[in-house]
């Protein structure tokens, strides 16, 4: 073995050792950081804690949320928190991610002019279009509703809460998902078009949109995201409208109608270059 090879092996060993040591130290310090950090939400079911100026830790999270965030980060340029690492604790999965410094669109909305509101929703739709251009991978065989990985889906609007079932589905047939919707009166008034299955955030509302100092709008809270019929996105921004913000809903519906018209004009074809693999 040459001197250079020996040096490379030693550097590789110590690099791996130090990385492992740092990760173990982070795991040991996690409970302390969670107790001392700024508690954005902190109860038995969910903990969201800002542990530094640039990082927050959220959990317990579902695999659906982690997979959706990772997929969005690698398959789109939608602004969202970057994942730093995960922790598997007794309580479940915890995700360390970017803390997005800014103000929620919910808090900003009343101070915006009509033109600024329209521009904000237009920027949100830039992200929505990217998500909706992503299609399920062929290996899922035309799944009607599923997590990014093809498993069951969680969504509070379907009665899947933190204290409820772990998930529903996955739904292989569209009729199976529709039968679940038929059990809930909340969605009876909404049309079920367009029904193409694509990547849907499923919780777009002003409190889940953060405007950073540079004006970028970040989408947060990806716990319900997955492969859903496109109409589910619209149903959900109506369902999540609390406190009521009719201007936001009206603008979202307006942009949605424009997109639906484009889909109809193109025979409902989504961009085939954007898919899940």
Provide Rg for the chain, Cα atoms: 21
Residue 257 belongs to domain spanning = 102-265
Greater confidence (271 vs 199) lies with: 199
Whether 28 is in a domain gets the answer no
User: Which among 124, 134, 170 has a CA at the least distance from the CA of 149?
Assistant: 170
Give the per-residue pLDDT at 268.
46
CA 150 to each of CA 25, 130, 224: distance values in angstroms, whole numbers, following the listed order: 34, 20, 13
Average pLDDT of the chain is 89
Query: What integer pLDDT is reported at residue 38 of this predicted model?
Result: 98
- Calpha distance 250→244 (Å, rounded): 11
Nearest to 136 by CA among 90, 97, 163, 171: 171
| Within a domain: 94 | no
Residue 23 lies in a domain: no
CA angle 16–26–33, rounded 5-degree value? 165
Per the domain annotation, does 232 fall within a domain?
Answer: yes
pLDDT computed for residue 9 by the predictor: 57
The predicted pLDDT at position 2 comes to 62
201 domain-assigned: yes
Is the entire prediction scored with pTM above 0.75?
yes
Write down the pLDDT at residue 46: 92
Under 8 Å between Cβ of 52 and 99: yes
**pLDDT tens-digit map of 33-59:** 999 999 999 998 899 999 999 999 999
Question: What is the total count of domains within the chain?
Answer: 1
Residue 68 lies in a domain: no
Whether residue 175 is contained in a domain is answered as: yes
Q: Is residue 2 part of a domain?
A: no
């Amino acid at each position: 073995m040459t001197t250079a090879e020996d040096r490379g092996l030693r550097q590789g060993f110590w690099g791996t050792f130090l990385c492992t040591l740092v990760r173990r130290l982070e795991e040991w310090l996690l409970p302390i950081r969670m107790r001392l950090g700024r508690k954005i939400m902190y109860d038995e079911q969910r903990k969201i804690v800002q542990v530094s100026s640039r990082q927050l830790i959220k959990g317990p999270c579902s695999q659906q949320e982690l997979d959706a965030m990772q997929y969005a980060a690698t398959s789109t340029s939608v602004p969202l928190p970057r994942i730093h690492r995960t922790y598997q604790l007794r309580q479940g999965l915890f995700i360390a991610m970017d803390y997005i410094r800014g103000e929620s669109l919910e808090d900003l909305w009343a101070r915006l002019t009509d033109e600024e509101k329209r521009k904000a929703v237009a920027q949100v739709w830039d992200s929505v279009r990217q998500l909706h251009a992503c299609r399920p991978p062929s290996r899922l065989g035309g799944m009607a509703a599923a997590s990014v990985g093809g498993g069951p889906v969680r969504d509070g609007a379907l009665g899947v809460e933190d204290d409820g079932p772990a998930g529903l589905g996955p739904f292989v047939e569209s009729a199976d998902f529709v039968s679940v919707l038929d059990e809930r009166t909340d969605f009876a008034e909404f049309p079920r078009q367009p029904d193409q299955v694509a990547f849907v955030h499923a919780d777009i509302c002003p409190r889940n949109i953060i405007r950073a100092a540079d004006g970028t709008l970040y989408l947060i809270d990806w716990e319900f995201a997955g492969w859903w019929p496109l109409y589910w996105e619209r149903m959900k921004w109506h369902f999540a409208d609390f406190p009521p913000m009719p201007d936001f809903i009206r603008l979202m519906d307006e942009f949605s109608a424009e997109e639906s018209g484009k889909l109809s004009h193109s025979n409902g074809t989504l961009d085939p270059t954007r898919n899940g693999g």
